[in-house]
């Protein structure tokens, strides 16, 4: 048999005995164009000699895992790869046909592309569902790739425009009520628009691939092995990195602009103290302490933030910026309210059992209304009503100031409204029912014990969230003043 019938053969094996044995077996029946020991040498030999068949040492783990087939696609339209293992007396053809107890004739037949009498059940199934002969996969030229990308790219552009516009024009945040929040909202809209475009791009290519590259009816063949594309991997790494770095740089510039280190003219100073679980607001220049935050519209405010126990985070969503209250550290935050309205201070740092209830009212008012509020807070307060016998009016007034200072009125109302804790209205002298079913009359001793050890008397229907550290913050005289104040609320 002349060698031209078997064609040009490349032998790949790191073992000299294997290579020599195959060469002797082929003899002059085939043209052995190369005998190589590694994949690197195989690539070079394939490009140089263009073999029609490649015999591979199947016992070589490196060659078995790498699979030579992808290396051939850009080089040859058709090539037969034959994996041969000598130890098990078995021969495997690249198209997954297998011959057990192979002979020299089987190998020669494989080189000729002859049919096999011995077939696995899988091969029998293929014969029942024949497929047209297919050429080996080819790497399309640049023009062909662009033609295939035209449809999904066009769909992406068409869908991305309305998605990006929807994110750009839709308010996904609470109403804006501070000057510093304008560039923040712009950045958020930009980020959502970019994320929307990326989502559309991914989904379009995903569903396009499902439809266009789906398996044809009756196709039972294995799909061609797909290996990575370095340009594509570089693209989807570098482009997102550029986007993230660009957004981060822009955000850093915004933060630099809206967080000045020097004060404004006519700046209002407010000291904000967070504690478990309430807020205290002090106006040092005005001599006011309050459990609610009142701010004049269009006037810069410097918040000096403190904490007496754990880390809290001062946040008014409508004013956008938030800042941590850290024990032992004074943080600064500057904001300029621009919209009259009522809002809420929230704690944005998980700080304990009643974190969710750590709220305080915020009122942004006109300058004239703010001045009226200041006058009402600094004017001499009238003596509280004597709703119970033996009330010390001066002590009750001091108790009212303490209740505001320590944020007590953020959890306990004085008008009967149900808040986080029981109302103080009508508390003194009433009978209280506790979670364990027991009852007790709310006398002076009961109120004092409830302040110092609140877990001992948890009123039915309310959580045990009152701070346990008032015994370290209040003196006996201050506790007595608070009791006197509560006695007046009948």
pLDDT (tens digit per residue) in 393-421: 788 888 887 887 776 776 787 877 777 78
Judgement on whether residues 299 and 191 belong to the same structural domain of the protein: no
pLDDT, greater one: 154 or 379: 154
Q: Is 388 inside a domain boundary?
A: no
pLDDT at 57 over 90: no
Return the pLDDT at 324. Answer: 93
Judgement on whether residues 323 and 413 belong to the same structural domain of the protein: no
pLDDT (tens digit per residue) in 222-234: 777 777 778 888 9
pLDDT (tens digit per residue) in 443-473: 888 888 888 888 888 888 888 777 777 777 7
Return the pLDDT at 133. Answer: 43
Segment 351-373 shows an average pLDDT of 90
Full 3-state SS string of 221-246? CCCCCCCCCHHHHHHHHHHHHHHHHH
Judgement on whether residues 12 and 116 belong to the same structural domain of the protein: yes
Judgement on whether residues 251 and 273 belong to the same structural domain of the protein: no
Judgement on whether residues 7 and 120 belong to the same structural domain of the protein: yes
Both tokens assigned to 109: 């037949």
Domain containing 468 equals 393-488
Judgement on whether residues 165 and 205 belong to the same structural domain of the protein: yes
Q: Is 383 inside a domain boundary?
A: no
**Pick from 61-75, 97-111, 220-234: least confident:** 61-75
pLDDT at 343 over 90: yes
Segment 374-379 shows an average pLDDT of 82
Percent of the chain residues past pLDDT 70, beyond the cut: 80
pLDDT (tens digit per residue) in 227-258: 777 888 898 899 999 999 999 999 998 888 88
Segment 294-315 shows an average pLDDT of 92
Q: Is 263 inside a domain boundary?
A: no
Q: List, as one string, the DSSP characters of 332-377.
A: EEEE-B-S-EEEEEEE-S--STTGGG-EEEEEEE-HHHHHHHHHHH
Q: Is 136 inside a domain boundary?
A: no
Segment 185-212 shows an average pLDDT of 91
**Mean pLDDT computed over every residue of the chain:** 79
Return the pLDDT at 464. Answer: 79
Both tokens assigned to 172: 């996904």
Return the pLDDT at 96. Answer: 46
**Pick from 85-89, 184-188, 195-199, 435-439: least confident:** 85-89
What's the CATH code of the domain at 92? 3.40.50.2300
Q: Is 367 inside a domain boundary?
A: yes
| Res. 128 pLDDT band, cuts 50 70 90 | very low
Q: How many domains does the chain have?
A: 4
Judgement on whether residues 81 and 11 belong to the same structural domain of the protein: yes
Q: Is 277 inside a domain boundary?
A: yes
CB 434 within 8 A of CB 442: no
CB 420 within 8 A of CB 454: no
Which residues in 297-335 are b (16+ Cβ under 10 Å) and which e? beebbebbbbbbbbebbbbbbbbbbbbbbbeeeebebbb
Q: How far is CA 363 from CA 266, 273, 322, 473, in A?
A: 19, 18, 17, 28
| Res. 5 pLDDT band, cuts 50 70 90 | low
Return the pLDDT at 18. Answer: 80
Q: Is 199 inside a domain boundary?
A: yes
- Residue 359 backbone dihedrals phi, psi, to 5 degrees: -120, 155
Judgement on whether residues 172 and 278 belong to the same structural domain of the protein: no
What's the CATH code of the domain at 474? 1.10.760.10
Return the pLDDT at 213. Answer: 80
pLDDT at 391 over 60: yes
Return the pLDDT at 199. Answer: 93
């Amino acid at each position: 048999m002349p060698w031209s019938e078997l064609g040009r053969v490349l032998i790949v094996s790191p073992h000299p005995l294997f290579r020599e044995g195959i060469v002797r077996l082929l003899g002059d029946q085939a043209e052995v164009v190369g005998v190589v020991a590694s994949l690197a040498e195989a690539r070079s030999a394939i490009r140089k000699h263009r073999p029609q068949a490649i015999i591979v040492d199947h016992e070589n783990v490196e060659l078995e895992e790498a699979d030579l087939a992808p290396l051939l696609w850009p080089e040859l339209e058709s090539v037969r790869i034959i994996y041969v293992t000598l130890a098990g007396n078995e021969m495997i053809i690249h198209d997954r046909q297998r011959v057990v107890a192979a002979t020299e004739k089987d190998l020669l037949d494989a080189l000729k592309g002859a049919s096999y009498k011995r077939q696995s059940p899988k091969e029998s199934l293929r014969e029942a569902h024949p497929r047209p002969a297919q050429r080996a996969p080819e790497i399309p030229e640049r023009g062909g790739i662009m033609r295939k990308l035209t449809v999904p790219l066009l769909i992406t552009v068409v869908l991305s425009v309305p998605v990006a516009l929807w994110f750009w024009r839709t308010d996904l945040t609470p109403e804006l009520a501070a000057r510093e929040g304008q560039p923040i909202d712009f950045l958020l809209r930009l980020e959502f628009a970019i994320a929307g475009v990326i989502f559309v791009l991914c989904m379009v290519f995903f569903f396009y691939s499902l439809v266009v590259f789906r398996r044809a009816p009756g196709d039972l063949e294995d799909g061609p092995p797909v290996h990575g594309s370095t340009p594509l991997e570089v693209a989807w790494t570098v482009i997102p990195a550029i986007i993230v770095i660009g957004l981060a740089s822009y955000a850093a510039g915004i933060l630099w602009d809206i967080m000045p280190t020097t004060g404004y003219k006519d700046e209002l100073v407010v000291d904000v103290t967070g504690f478990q679980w309430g807020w205290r607001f002090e106006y040092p220049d005005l001599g006011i302490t309050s459990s609610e935050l009142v701010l004049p519209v269009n006037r810069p405010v410097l918040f000096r933030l403190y904490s007496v126990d754990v880390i809290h985070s001062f946040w008014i969503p409508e004013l956008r910026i938030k800042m941590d209250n850290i024990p032992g550290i004074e943080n600064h935050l500057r904001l300029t309210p621009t919209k009259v309205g009522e809002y809420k201070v929230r704690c944005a740092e998980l700080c304990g059992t009643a974190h969710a209830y750590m709220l305080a009212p915020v009122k942004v008012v006109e300058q004239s209304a703010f001045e009226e509020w200041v006058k009402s807070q600094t004017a001499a307060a009238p003596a509280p009503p004597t709703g119970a016998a033996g009330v010390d009016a001066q002590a009750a007034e001091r108790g009212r100031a303490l209740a505001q200072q320590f944020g007590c009125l953020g959890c306990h109302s004085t008008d009967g409204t149900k808040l986080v804790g029981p109302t103080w209205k009508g508390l003194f002298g009433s009978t209280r029912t506790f979670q364990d079913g027991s009852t007790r009359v709310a006398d002076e001793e009961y109120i004092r014990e409830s302040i110092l050890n609140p877990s001992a008397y948890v009123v039915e229907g309310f959580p045990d969230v009152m701070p346990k550290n008032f015994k370290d913050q209040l003196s006996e005289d201050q506790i007595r003043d608070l009791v006197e104040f509560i006695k007046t609320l009948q």
